[in-house]
Amino acid sequence: MESQESHHKLHVIFVPYPTPGHMNPMIDTARLFAQHGVNVTIITTHAIASTFQKTIDTDFNSGYSIKTQLIHFPSAQVGLPHGVENIKDATSLEMLRKINHGISMLQDPIEALFQDLQPDCIVTDMMHAWTVEAAAKLGIPRIYYYSSSYFSNCASHFIRKYRPHDNLVSDTHKFTIPGLPHTIEMTPLQIPEWLREKNSAKDYFEPMFKSEERSYGTLYNSFHELESDYEKLSKTTMGIKSWGVGPVSAWANMDDDRKTIRGQREELGKESAELLNWLNSKQNESVLYVSFGSLTRLSHEQIVEIAYGLENSSHSFIWVVRENDKNEDKEGFLQDFEERMKESKKGYIIWNWAPQLLILDHPATGGIVTHCGWNSILESLSVGLPMITWPMFAEQFYNEKLLVDVLKIGVCVGSKVNKFWLSIGEDHVVVRREDIAKAVEILMGSSQESKEMRIRAKKLGDAAKRTIEEGGDSYYNLIQLIDELKSLKKSKANGEK
Ligand code: UDP
């Protein structure tokens, strides 16, 4: 009886890409599918699964039909130490190439699993262009998971199409992005390096863009009230369906335990208690959370500027710093800084990895310095926080424009150059301490500008809460997508075309 039931149930396979910014939203989305009655399988490798398996087990034990299907990462074949499978663990270009090589070798075992499991639909990360053909062979819909904003996909599309940055007299001159409903200006230096000039990375990304056009539709971790103009534009421009089902982190991680364990191993739980005590000792909306996501590398000089910028501002802060930066810091600058901040209780350093959802959700947190990774943006605005924008690479400069020029909930710190995250040189300082302290004062101070920004951010936070409730747009989109996939399954079973 049970097996017959599961046979009839819609079965969706999720294929994530192993980096937190892509994986976190996809895992949350997979869990939402399961919570709405879908039989879900997530295909991934061992080290990657260990970062979220506990959550999946909890969901499974609560009665949802969700599991991970593990495949072997070919560490030895590509010359990587055992357990290095995540893009965020690459410390050099060479290592990044090896991880990507390992990921590309997973195509055959994943395809074999598709054949064995015979799913009704594949939801695949944007980076796996090859899944278009795999889904076509099975005669099932392939859904492209885009891990950033509608806005950035539109901006990138029109810049690639019209190349408005060609023929400018210099890289620091502004151009207007064609085709958008708002006047958005950028400089060539702010768009990804591979788009500025023709290089091999273009060939790397092109199949991915083409694969979107050949997909059944695109899933976005976004919501209608946030970027409705761009949702509409992307539907007409890309010519395929799309569904905004975000913010998925708020939807799938409603309780504190989930927020603590999302995307990390268990032992961090103990450190969270100390952090929560520190946050509990602070006034509401008085703490600035500073994080540059999972990939960004900073030069030592830039770290020194951030430290002084934060120390010289008149606000408390939590700053996530890489353990490596402490290890490479021969003069002990960061250690001295941490001690000073502990003594004065002004700052709290988190080494390596923060329970980000837990911090953002705490009433003492009043704002964030962000590199404009889409997940950090959504996670912050889901709880109504305004932001200091410090984009670094990829589509982050587009996201900054959405926050500052369109939504008006962001203060620019003054980042000017889009630079691939692993090629930051030691002497690379992009933003000075005075500019950092100034942006902090604008965001966290009590000026009219700051108050208005805070009100707008809170309104978006309220809209984010409404959209994932019954009757909300994202809620509706998810249910509608699942229903549509069920009808497709039924038509297929009835032999209809
Ligand atoms: N994250 C976290 N703790 C950290 C750094 C990042 O939990 O110390 C999570 C964050 O909540 C988000 C993801 O990792 O879900 C980072 O994605 P984002 O798109 O913001 O940036 P990326 O890392 O892709 O540059």
24 C-beta closer than 6 A to ligand 1? yes
The answer, yes or no, to whether residue 474 has pLDDT greater than 80, is: yes
Q: Catalytic positions, please?
A: 22, 125
Residues 6+ apart with CB under 8 A from 324: 91
375 C-beta closer than 6 A to ligand 1? yes
Counting atoms of ligand 1 from 1, which one is nearest the CA of 88? 23
Sequence spans of domains, the chain: 2-164+201-252+468-496, 263-465
The answer, yes or no, to whether residue 5 has pLDDT greater than 60, is: no
Which tens digits make up the pLDDT trace of 34-49? 999 999 999 999 999 9
Pocket test for ligand 1, best of 260, 375, 377, 382 (most atoms within 8 A of CB): 375
246 C-beta closer than 6 A to ligand 1? no
Q: Kindly state the average pLDDT of the residues 279-306.
A: 96
What is the pTM (predicted TM-score) of this model?
A: 0.95
Counting atoms of ligand 1 from 1, which one is nearest the CA of 379? 11
356 C-beta closer than 6 A to ligand 1? yes
75 C-beta closer than 6 A to ligand 1? no
Q: Kindly state the average pLDDT of the residues 386-398.
A: 97
Cβ atoms 110, 43 nearer than 8 A: yes
Residues 6+ apart with CB under 8 A from 194: 201, 202, 204, 205
Residues 6+ apart with CB under 8 A from 21: 147, 293, 294, 295, 373, 374, 375
Share above pLDDT 90 across residues of the chain, in percent, rounded to a whole number? 83
First-to-last alpha carbon distance for the chain, in angstroms, is 29
CATH 3.40.50.970 fits 2-164+201-252+468-496, yes or no: no
Q: Do domains 2-164+201-252+468-496 and 263-465 have the same CATH topology?
A: yes
The answer, yes or no, to whether residue 222 has pLDDT greater than 50, is: yes
ipTM: 1.00
Q: Ligand 1 centre and the CA of 376: distance in Å?
A: 6
Superfamily of domain 263-465: Glycogen Phosphorylase B; (3.40.50.2000)
Counting atoms of ligand 1 from 1, which one is nearest the CA of 421? 25
Give the chain's mean pLDDT: 93
Give bridge partners of residue 321 from the DSSP assignment.
351
The answer, yes or no, to whether residue 199 has pLDDT greater than 80, is: no
Q: Ligand 1 centre and the CA of 354: distance in Å?
A: 9
pLDDT at 391: 97
Alpha carbon distance 241, 222 (integer Å): 14
The overall longest dimension of the chain from CA atoms, in Å, is 71
374 C-beta closer than 6 A to ligand 1? yes
Share above pLDDT 70 across residues of the chain, in percent, rounded to a whole number? 94
86 C-beta closer than 6 A to ligand 1? no
Q: Ligand 1 centre and the CA of 294: distance in Å?
A: 5
Annotate 332-347 with DSSP letters as a single string. Answer: -HHHHHHHHHHHHTSE
Which tens digits make up the pLDDT trace of 408-418? 999 999 999 99
